[in-house]
Structure formats: C-alpha cells, structure tokens
Amino acid sequence: MSEIILKVENLSKIYRLGEVGTGTISHDLNRWWAKIRGKEDPASIVGQVNYRDEIAKSDYVYALKDIDFDVKRGEVLGVIGKNGAGKSTLLKIISQITSPSSGFVKAKGRISSLLEIGTGMHPEMTARENIYLNGSIMGMRKHEIDSKFDEIIEFAGCIMYVDTPIKRFSSGMSVRLGFAVAAFLEPEILIVDEVLAVGDAEFQKKAIGKMKDVSYNHGRTVLFVSHNMSSVQHLCSSCMLLKDGQLDSIGKTGLIIDKYLKINKSSKSFKRKNNFEEIYVSDLKVISENKDSINSGDNIEIQLFYDSIKIDLNSNYEFIVGLWNENSADQFMLTNNYINKEIKLKNKTGCIVFSVKKIPLNNGIYSINTMIKKNNICMDFQEQVFSFNIENNNYYNSGVSYPNNYNGIYVDFSMNLL
C-alpha cells in the first residue's frame, strides 16, 4: 500500500505583478530572447518570495517556490495555509489547469479535480443531459455514466425531475446534482478545493462522508484544500502547510494544524490600533501545564495583555474572554463579574490572568474573543484573536476518552454504589 502515486518535484510558479497590457510585448520579447539564447528566464532570477505585505521589488513573484512532496496510494492529504499561500495554485497545477514555471509533477492514473461543482452545466438542458455533459467534462466515459446513471439520480434525489431543464431547479438542487456526478467519479487521484463550503450542513456531512468512503473503501487518493480545520482533521491522515508559496511542513494532521494555528497567532493582524479609544487587548497567550500541547483536562492559563493611553483609577474594569468552537458556537465565557471580583487598574499596560482548572473541552479547534468594559461600557471588542487546538487526551486519567465522533464536553464526576 505504500506505492507513491503522485510525486511533486521542485515545483515553482511565477506570476507577473501589475497589469497585463502596455509593455507586455517587450516583456515577452525579453523572456523569449533569453530563452532562445539558452539563458535562464529573467523572470525567475528576479522573482521574489510571496510576502504580500512588502513592497514589490520586482515585476515577478513566486506563487509557489520549490515545492516537493509525495503522496501514497489511499492517502488523504490536507493542504492548509492562509489565503494566498499558494494552495489553489498548487491544485491548479496538479490538475493541469495551468502549467508550472519549473519543476515536475508525476502521477499514476487519472486525476480529477473538483474545484467547482457542476462545471459546464447548461441551464437549458435537462438533468439527464447535464449529468452526461458534466460527467464527460470531469473525464468520465459515456459507458461509465450509463452504468452509474441511476445511482447518480438517486444520490441527487431528483428522480422526478430527470427530464426538466435545470434552470427550473432550485440552486440547492443543482448543487446536489453536480455533487452527485462528482461523487461517482472514479479517478485514482481526486483533488478537492473548498467546494464543500457551499450547501447546507446536511449536504456537507454527506459530502465528507462520501469522500471518506472513497478514500478508505476504494483506496483512492484525495488532496483536500480547506480552511475548515475540523473537516481537515476528520478527513485527512496527513497534512501539508503552505506559507507564502513555500512548503512549511508536512506530516501528521494534528501536528500540522497546531503549527498552522501558531502561525496565525503571530500574524500581524493582532498588532493593530491607531484608533482605539482608551484601552485595548494587545496580546493573548494560552499556556498549558504541559508545555507543548493543550489537552482536555489540563489546567490552563489565559494571559490577556492590555495596553492603554489612559486609565481611570476609580473605574471598574471588566475583562471578558469568550471561547468559540470552530462553528462559532459559544463554549464558555470568563469575566471578573461572575466571581464578584473588582479590578482597579493602576498601570497603563499589564496582564490579566484567567486560570481554568481541568478544561472540560473535547478535542477540536477553539478561538478566543475578548472584550474590555469600563463601567459597563464596551471599550474594546475583538473576535477570534487567538486560536488553539485541544487534543483529546485522557481527561479522567483513566486512559479512556470519548470516541471520535462524540462532540460533548467533559465533566468532573464521581460515582458510588449506595
């Protein structure tokens, strides 16, 4: 089972900055002239790494730089990274939509890309015709579609509308139809970009279930790009992290997600504020008793750093920390009001520590919102200032924890036979 099915070697992709138009011909001639003299492409000499916040030093930029990795048969590889890290470019190159500037991709078997659902469907044509059209665009042969047609229609749940033009369909129904076709593709390598973001919760569940089925039961290889860490965690056995067009790390999903969240934490978005009112949260840290990772049942400290231009010695300040899970559902909230603790500030900068004993949360990704109030008036509110990953590890110290598909919280309890 350890056969390598997809091999990516030294893959780079250069894009031109600015507008294509005036001066393009001279640029093109320049590159072409270098090429026929056997010199290196002038673009690739001056191309700079994709740090988007910096001022461009040259006209060319690396969207991807020296990417190297292998994917084995049956592996589900998650690709994560911030917006613009090069995820989509990578998928586009592997699915042959665009070609690399240098480097190679080698693969065994068919590659199907699912960057969009229902590509090429025509509103005037019936569902039946569209299944054939979309299936063929995705690379299926007619006889393959023939043999799966009934299943596709059933999966899409539109038996009644088979001969109705899809312009009469609700948008949800056409998405389902598109996904149904995609679900019955049988490529050796399936490439999925965040298509699951569309559709309702039930549909997403169905889609994820189908992808799991495809990889585990049929031995297909899947490359999955998503910003939804819980989908990645559920679906992928391993994961790669892209950062500024470069391969940051590749490995076990849990580790890579942690790393990704740490990158996010140190992102510049946190250092803000020219226009704050008086006081704001300048930094936040979550510290666990066992240094490297945070596990269910750990005692943790949330350290909230504040900065201000002036403080009121007589006012009552309230510091609030709220926890969200990945679906932005509230988990718990901590504030000095709940424990009747008054906080009088003395210094313009400082740190408030929230101590939580035996954190009862299950594994998953959580983010923190903060708020500072002065005399019950909100001075500063920031959403999702910090994200962290909790690993499910032995809350009860018994070596037993919740099964993977159970999402509840832990409680400290005891049992006795009376």
Partner 1 sequence: MDIENSSIDTWTIEISPNKRFFKIDLKGLWSYRDLLAMFVKRDIVTIYKQTILGPIWFFVQPIMTSLTFMFVFGGIANISTDGIPHILFYMSGLIIWNYFSECFIQTADTFSQNANIFGKVYFPRIIIPISKVISGLIKFSIQFVLFLIIWLYYYFQDNVLQPNYFILLTPLLVVLMAFIGLGLGVLFSSITKKYRDLKFLINFGVQLTMYITPIIYPLSEIKSNSLKLLMMFNPFSHIIEAFKYSFLGRGEFDIYGLLYATCFAFFVFVFGILVFNKTERNFIDTV
375 CA to centre of own chain: 39
- Residue from 79, 133, 236, 345 that binds partner 1 (CB under 8 A)? 133
Coil/strand/helix, residue 21? coil
Our CB check for partner 1 shows the closer of 122 and 252 to be: 122
Amino acid identity of 229?
Answer: M
Q: Where are the beta strands (DSSP E) in 26-99?
A: 60-72, 76-80
What length does the chain have? 418
Specify the stretch interacting with partner 1 by CB under 8 A; choose among 88-96, 251-259, 261-269, 284-292.
Answer: 88-96
Our CB check for partner 1 shows the closer of 182 and 372 to be: 182
- Residue from 32, 51, 104, 381 that binds partner 1 (CB under 8 A)? 104
Specify the stretch interacting with partner 1 by CB under 8 A; choose among 95-103, 219-227, 234-242, 262-270.
Answer: 95-103
Q: Does 120 bind partner 1 (CB under 8 A)?
A: yes
Residue 162 CB, nearest approach to partner 1 (Å): 16
Sheet with 279-288, strands from edge to edge, namely: 279-288, 300-308, 350-356
Residues 6 or more apart in contact with residue 351 via CB below 8 angstroms: 303, 304, 305, 306
Residues 25-64 that bind partner 1 (CB under 8 A): 25
- In sign, the C-alpha dihedral spanning 414, 326, 171, 93 is negative
**294-319 core/surface letters (b: 16 or more CB in 10 A; e: else):** bbbbbebebebebebeebeeebebbb
Q: Does 125 bind partner 1 (CB under 8 A)?
A: yes
Our CB check for partner 1 shows the closer of 25 and 160 to be: 25
Q: Does 74 bind partner 1 (CB under 8 A)?
A: no
Q: Does 82 bind partner 1 (CB under 8 A)?
A: no
Residues 285-324 that bind partner 1 (CB under 8 A): none
Q: Does 225 bind partner 1 (CB under 8 A)?
A: no
Whether the CB-CB separation of 245 and 100 falls below 8 Å is answered with no
- Phi-psi category of residue 244: left, alpha or beta, with phi > 0 → left and psi -120 to 50 → alpha: left
Residue 164 CB, nearest approach to partner 1 (Å): 12
Q: Does 216 bind partner 1 (CB under 8 A)?
A: no
Residues that bind partner 1 (CB under 8 A): 3-4, 7, 15, 20, 24-25, 92-111, 113, 115-116, 119-120, 122, 124-125, 129, 132-133, 136-142, 165
